[in-house]
Amino acid sequence: MRVGNYIIFAVNILIGSFCIYFFVSRGYGPSPADGWKYNEIVSLLFAAATFVMAALTIVLAVLAVAGYTAIRTMAKEAAEAVASAEAKNVATQIARDTATPVAERAVREAIAQTGIVKYQTDELVSALSNE
Using alpha carbons, select from 16, 5, 3 the residue that is nearest to residue 48: 16
- Per the CB < 8 A criterion, the answer to whether 56 and 3 are in contact is no
- Across 12-16, 34-38, 112-116, least confident range: 112-116
pLDDT at position 17 is 86
DSSP, collapsed to helix, strand or coil, labels residue 31 as: coil
* Amino acid (1-letter code) at residue 75: A
pTM over 0.75: no
Q: Are 103 and 125 contacting, i.e. CB atoms less than 8 angstroms apart? A: yes
**E-assigned strands of 65-126?**
none
pLDDT digits over 52-65, tens only?
A: 999 999 999 999 99
